[in-house]
Amino acid sequence: WSPDGNKLLYVSNKSGNFDLWMMNTDGSNKKQLTDDAHLENYLLGLVGWDAVWSYDGSRIVYVSAISENDDIWTLTDTGSGKELMLNLSNVSRNSDIWIMNANGSGSKQLTIDHEKNLQPRWQPYGDKIAFLSNRSGNMDLWIMNSDGSEKVQLTSTTGHNRDISWSPDGKMITFTSTGSYNYPDFSSTIWVMNSDGSSKKQLTSDNRDHFPEWSPDGTKIAFQSGPIGEEAIWLMNIDGTGKVQLTDNTSNVFPHWSPDMEKIVFTSLPNGISVITLGDSSKPVPGVGLLGVFVSLFGGRWLFRRKQV
């Protein structure tokens, strides 16, 4: 959803390749935003699934998996002439983060190295970008200005980090830290820190905790916990206290809050998208079944209309 609730981003192969598209919420005015001839055989979910609007609705950030021979993606004009950010990701090799105007002009490479730079996340109502990079040897969290300047390493671990999530006020970041990554047997815990990397605190210790997401008011964190195939949705305070299990341990993953904090939408395999009312039982969304599993792999998204002050 766009912040004003009027547009949607989605991935489609209607042009012959899998690309990022935009349309009005009534299905009209479909517009292709990316155009790449080398994405016929990509892994669905690595291109476009991470597309996120900037908080003012003028920019878009997304992750793209491309082959080693591909060049920079170009974007068609969205009509705004404003900037959007993209991540040129070669999953098996290297990737860089770029920024350009929506009409394809003014492209600028924000990360310039021979490493992986992934998962860019805009600071809410700010001008910072948090991202993942293995330039230090491990996949750590970094932060930079939106023009690519002042890159600062926020974490330094022997394992790998991922799942960046900003607090609503842009002052704190929660993330997942993976001590060892030997799929499917790996451990991970959820941490929180200030946006400058200070005051790091480990929030969980069950070693299979992933995908933390802040509540809209910044007081709670929803997350998934459990070994593969036995995940459940949990809730905790931002200091790690008050942990409550919300669902059973049956592949319930990727939680996302409703704007009013009364519900959490998540993926429930193999049934598709489900919604839980806090204090109530899980209720599958009608019409989403086995055929919707792959499409809904990374969970649903709520319409979030932001008040203008």
221 lies in a domain? Answer: yes
Q: Which of 1-5, 73-77, 212-216, 283-287 has the highest mean pLDDT?
A: 212-216
pLDDT of residue 204: 95
289 lies in a domain? Answer: yes
158 lies in a domain? Answer: yes
Q: How far is residue 123 CA from its own chain's centroid?
A: 13
pLDDT of residue 25: 77
pLDDT band at 151 (very low <50, low <70, confident <90, very high): very high
Query: Which is higher by pLDDT, 293 or 29?
Result: 29
Global model pTM greater than 0.85: no
pLDDT of residue 36: 56
Q: Is the pLDDT of residue 73 over 70?
A: no
Query: What's the pLDDT tens digit per position in 174-225?
Result: 999 987 555 555 689 999 999 999 999 999 997 789 999 999 999 999 999 9
83 lies in a domain? Answer: no
62 lies in a domain? Answer: no
187 lies in a domain? Answer: yes
212 lies in a domain? Answer: yes
Distance CA 96, CA 114 (A): 9
DSSP helix, strand, coil percent of the chain (3-state; round to 5): 0, 45, 55
Domain count, the chain: 1
CATH of the domain at 252: 2.120.10.30
pLDDT of residue 272: 75
Q: Over the chain, what is the mean pLDDT?
A: 74
99 lies in a domain? Answer: no
Tokens of 243: 């942990």
pLDDT band at 101 (very low <50, low <70, confident <90, very high): low
pLDDT of residue 304: 46
Domain that holds residue 269: 124-309
Query: Which is higher by pLDDT, 62 or 269?
Result: 269
Tell how many helices (H) and how many strands (E) occur in the chain. Answer: 0, 24
Q: At CB < 8 A and 24+ separation, what contacts does 109-113 make?
A: 109/148, 110/85, 110/144, 110/146, 110/147, 110/148, 111/144, 111/148, 111/151
